[in-house]
């Protein structure tokens, strides 16, 4: 199967590695508006060819280039059986209608972003809407760029498919791809997806960003942070190393559900602070005991 991957970072690159290694993809075209990402993707063997800003390769040869990699003309990159969009969700919402304009009747388009409703809304009336599948593989690390791509990233992880108005044959194509990656599939409506991930994923990133900012503000001695940071702190702020360029659009697109989740989170933080100020040990213990029950769910 000929595949085009638009966005050659952690997720796009990791998909390329495993889809080629497991025989699902016979040829992979990479698209990125970052020339260095293009160069690295070719150098690392993530893709067979590049459609994007022409990088200079170690052998002095230039790669194929498109005039506007994230614009109206994606050239030969659209001549694939499957097109995977792995870029910030704000760009996906703008680019997706143009991609659907230029594909064949039997081409499937999918994205891997962390929000779905706004993206689906952008193409709701598009004549090729049925050829698009919204997907969200729940896998990744805090790292970014082509060098962050790793093999077996998706094995035994969950992938959510939002198939609001998608054709069955397109759903089957994308399902087969994720089954090749050994992912477990869940099916949701796009708005339902955004609500649930706001509570269990997006709020976690906000917490991590806020904690890291708090520590940097309160503790001016960076060597002290390094010396005293234990595994608990390190694991809690790990997500704060995530790409702002990727996450700010996610929070913007999912603002309704994220704001509601954040309001509840702030309510619990405020209560905890009051218990600490009053030295209310019993109140603190009650909160922590209730929180401990998450253990049973995560088993």
64 vs 139, more confident: 139
182-210 pLDDT, tens digit each: 999 999 999 999 998 888 888 888 888 88
**Location of each CATH 3.40.50.720 domain in the chain:** 2-188
Q: How far apart are CA 229 and CA 248, in angstroms?
A: 27
| pLDDT score of 66 more than 70 | no
- Residue 29 pairs in a beta bridge with 4, 49
**Location of each CATH 1.10.3660.10 domain in the chain:** 194-298
pLDDT for res 126: 96
- Residue 52: DSSP 8-state: S
240-292 pLDDT, tens digit each: 887 888 889 889 988 999 999 999 999 999 999 999 999 999 999 999 999 89
Q: Strand, helix or coil at 6?
A: strand
> What CATH architecture does domain 194-298 belong to?
Orthogonal Bundle (1.10)
Q: How far apart are CA 279 and CA 36, in angstroms?
A: 54
pTM confidence score: 0.81
| pLDDT score of 226 more than 80 | no
> What CATH architecture does domain 2-188 belong to?
3-Layer(aba) Sandwich (3.40)
């Amino acid at each position: 199967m000929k595949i085009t991957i638009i966005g050659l970072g952690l997720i796009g690159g990791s998909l390329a590695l495993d889809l080629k290694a497991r025989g699902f993809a016979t040829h992979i075209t990479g698209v990125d508006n970052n020339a260095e990402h293009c160069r690295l993707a070719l150098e690392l063997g993530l893709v067979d060819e590049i459609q994007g800003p022409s990088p200079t390769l170690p052998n002095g040869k230039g790669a194929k280039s498109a005039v506007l990699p994230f614009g109206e003309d994606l050239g030969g990159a659209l001549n694939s059986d499957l097109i995977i969009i792995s870029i910030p969700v704000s760009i996906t919402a703008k680019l997706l209608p143009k991609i659907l304009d230029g594909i064949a009747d039997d081409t499937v388009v999918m994205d891997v972003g962390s929000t779905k409703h706004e993206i689906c809304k952008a193409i709701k009336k598009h004549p090729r809407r049925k050829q698009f599948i919204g997907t969200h593989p729940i896998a990744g690390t805090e790292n970014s760029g082509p060098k962050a791509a790793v093999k077996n990233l998706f094995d035994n992880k969950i992938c959510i498919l939002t198939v609001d108005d998608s054709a069955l044959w397109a759903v089957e194509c994308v399902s087969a791809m994720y089954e090749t990656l050994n992912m477990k599939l869940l099916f949701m409506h796009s708005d339902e997806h955004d609500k649930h991930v706001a509570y269990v994923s997006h709020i976690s990133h906000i917490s991590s960003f806020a904690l890291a900012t708090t520590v940097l503000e309160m503790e001016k001695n960076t060597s002290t942070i390094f010396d005293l940071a234990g595994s608990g702190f390190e694991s809690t702020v790990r997500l704060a190393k995530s790409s702002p360029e990727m996450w700010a659009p996610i929070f913007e697109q999912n603002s309704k559900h994220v704001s509601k989740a954040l309001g509840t989170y702030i309510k619990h933080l405020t209560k905890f602070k009051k218990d600490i100020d009053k030295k209310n040990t019993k109140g603190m213990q009650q909160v922590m005991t209730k929180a401990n029950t998450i253990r049973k769910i995560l088993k």
